[in-house]
Amino acid sequence: MVLFDNMENQKVYKKGIRLSDAAENDNIIAAIVEDELKDLSFILSKDSKVKFISFDEEEGKKIYWHSTAHILAYAVKRLYPHAKLAIGPAINEGFYYDFGVEKPFTPEDIEKIEKEMKKIIKEDYLFKKEDLSKENAHKLFQKLGEDYKVELLEELEGPVTIYRNDSFIDLCRGPHLPETGRVKYFKLLSSSGAYWKGDESNEMLQRIYGISFESQKELEEYLERMEEAKRRDHRLLGTELSLWMMDDEIGPGLVVWLPRGMILRKIIEDFWWDEHRKRGYEFILSPHLARTNLWKQSGHLDYYNELIYPIMEKDNQGYLVKPMNCPFHIKVYKQKRRSYRELPMRLAELGTVYRYEKSGVLHGLLRVRGFTQDDAHLFCMVDQAKDELISTILLAKDIFTTFGFTDYKVELSVWDINEKERYMGDEEDWNNAEQSLIRALEETELSYQKRKGEAAFYGPKIDIKILDSLKREWQATTIQFDFNLPKRFDLKFMGQDGQYHNIILIHRAILGSLERFIGTLVEHYAGKFPMWLAPIQVKILPITSNVNEYAEKIKNELISSGIRTKSDYRNEKLSLKIREATMEKLPYMIIIGEKEIDTKTISVRSREKGNIGSMNLLDFQELVKNEINKKSN
């Protein structure tokens, strides 16, 4: 459950007022009443604090998109009465709905469904909410033949709610728009197969994705952005630029880094090491598997059993391929007794882990089964926690700025004090940790959205999502308190008073995983990496074989000066070589002909500026090195 902390512009309204009557303008979609989202048809049962929300706010977009999903479902039921309804949530951008149908939807079907949705919007049906007992809801959806809704009901407790639009009925907790006519501009984007509940052992459903907005301009801008996103798809560019490969015979979700991709990865790793070393981190390297008992003690075997690869039995001992790095770092800490003088201890690792992700969710480098975390664990005292958090946030900001990311979305996930039984640790632990996170965010001037009740059972956390050049969100940094592992492993330190005290453990990852971050970089730059990241910075293109010797001399001088250089000595037309080098998105090309030999110069073409003309080699080297030193600034 998400409760809302960002409650500016809220007012107190009197008991008995209908929210639609109190709404101050026609842009209002719904309202937050005492931390709960409500339809505008809701009547206050007591004097209450109310904040009205519009499409401009995140909650408003989710309601708008979820309501459009209901319109989509109604249109499908009108056109295909035997279709069975599954689920239809709002997602990060837009919505989808899953249907049980006999055959996949065709492009012609999607066009028909869009036309039917426009009719439903024009007919302007109310979204009517009804409360039902679970028993009555069960009878209703059985009568309607909605098997998936009946199955969902089995997982719910207590009374449930349904929404009606004319004759259409859906199981839903809402809230929704007041009426279907509030949806102005929409587009169905695609359809695909999706397993019921994401489980490959269940039947395949058909999923339709869509988007909706309040203005035609917003819709057009979104569709243009999506076309650009397709051109930037890291899966396509990764192949075109020869960065990595995947092969079903190797295994789905397992990445093989090709030579150019390995250069890119090594550049990122070296930068990561340097930035952490400057800030007092120590580095370890842990094995790829460990005895089963270690994962039992850490709790990973219980909590993440479905993600862990099968047990291996050797020498009468069970082993698991590691899904996390945490237990190894903890074992390093426990290697000997620790004193307050050794704290804070910052242990970092580029640790490769393996998790069984269902094939339906694998997605290029963004969702894989084997990946390398830029992992670290901070072992500290209570009074050191805030400074460690601040240092971690500043490290993240510095790293992202260097890579060309300057916009963030930050979420603070904390517990719901009204449901203490869901969490480990006492109230003092949670309050201290939450306040440390808040003060760190404030002192580093990061605005954030607090999400109450969204914390993991073992501690509160900060998530930093970076925004790329298309303003899309990418999960990156996580900074997580942990009250669980210190207790399971009895982590202590000797204080100044000669007594043992509990350690504070903070997990943190800045980039998240190298695989996902590199996928993000590819899409952010559309494959046109800045000079310092480009696997090949310069390509030399001789016009004829007569100048190959001079071209080789230029290449060797550039390589000796630290500039990553390749040459193309094929007996092909220069226009073809230039076209292919352009497709590789290389920062610079050097053209070598008889004229360049005579004048002891080079002819330079820039990815950004086109033909620059003749240059002295030393001037070109200085130009390139200046660009490298600027990083992404």
Query: Of all helices (H) and strands (E), which one includes residue 494?
Result: strand 492-494
For residue 62 the two structure tokens come to 């989710």
What sign has the CA pseudo-torsion 368, 373, 374, 379?
positive
For residue 502 the two structure tokens come to 């509990």
- Cβ atoms of 557 and 618 closer than 8 Å: no
Which residue of the set 322, 461, 539, 555 is catalytic? Answer: 461
The CB density around residue 479, as the number of other CB atoms within 10 Å, is: 24
Amino acid at 378: L
For residue 149 the two structure tokens come to 């809704």
- Cβ atoms of 36 and 58 closer than 8 Å: no
Assess whether 373 carries a catalytic annotation: yes
What is the CA angle 451-392-299, rounded to 5? 65
Assess whether 172 carries a catalytic annotation: no
Assess whether 128 carries a catalytic annotation: no
The CA distances from residue 487 to 377, 483, 533, 542, in Å, are 15, 7, 42, 66
Q: Which residues of 343-369 are buried (b: 16+ CB within 10 A; e: fewer)?
A: bbbbbbbbbbbbbbbbeeeeebbbbbb
Distance of CA 590 to the CA centre of its chain: 39
Rounded Cα distance between 496 and 342, Å, is 12
Rounded Cα distance between 385 and 483, Å, is 13
Query: Terminal CA-to-CA distance of the chain, rounded, Å?
Result: 40
Assess whether 363 carries a catalytic annotation: no
Which residue of the set 326, 329, 564, 577 is catalytic? Answer: 326
Which residue of the set 373, 480, 537, 621 is catalytic? Answer: 373
The CA distances from residue 432 to 183, 404, 454, 494, 504, in Å, are 44, 34, 17, 21, 11
Assess whether 70 carries a catalytic annotation: no
Rounded Cα distance between 531 and 31, Å, is 49
For residue 92 the two structure tokens come to 């990060």
Q: How many CA atoms lie within 13 A of 318 on its CB side?
A: 10
The length of the chain is 633
Matching residue, tokens 């600027």: 630
What is the CA angle 630-632-633, rounded to 5? 65
Assess whether 380 carries a catalytic annotation: no
Matching residue, tokens 């004229």: 595
Which residue of the set 182, 234, 322, 507 is catalytic? Answer: 507
Rounded Cα distance between 329 and 578, Å, is 50
Main-chain dihedrals φ then ψ at residue 429, nearest 5 degrees: -55, -50
- Cβ atoms of 475 and 488 closer than 8 Å: no
Beta strands in 309-369 (DSSP E): 312-314, 317-321, 345-354
SS3 at position 524: helix
Assess whether 326 carries a catalytic annotation: yes
Question: Please, what is the angle between helix 259-278 and helix 385-403, to 10°?
Answer: 140
For residue 554 the two structure tokens come to 């230029």
Which residue of the set 182, 377, 524, 577 is catalytic? Answer: 377
Q: Do β-strands 168-171 and 185-195 pair in parallel, antiparallel, or remain unpaired?
A: unpaired
What are the beta bridge partners of residue 192?
207
What are the beta bridge partners of residue 346?
378
Which residue of the set 61, 207, 276, 355 is catalytic? Answer: 355
What are the beta bridge partners of residue 539?
566, 589
Which residue of the set 39, 375, 429, 482 is catalytic? Answer: 375
- Cβ atoms of 465 and 409 closer than 8 Å: yes
Annotated catalytic residues are 326, 355, 373, 375, 377, 461, 507
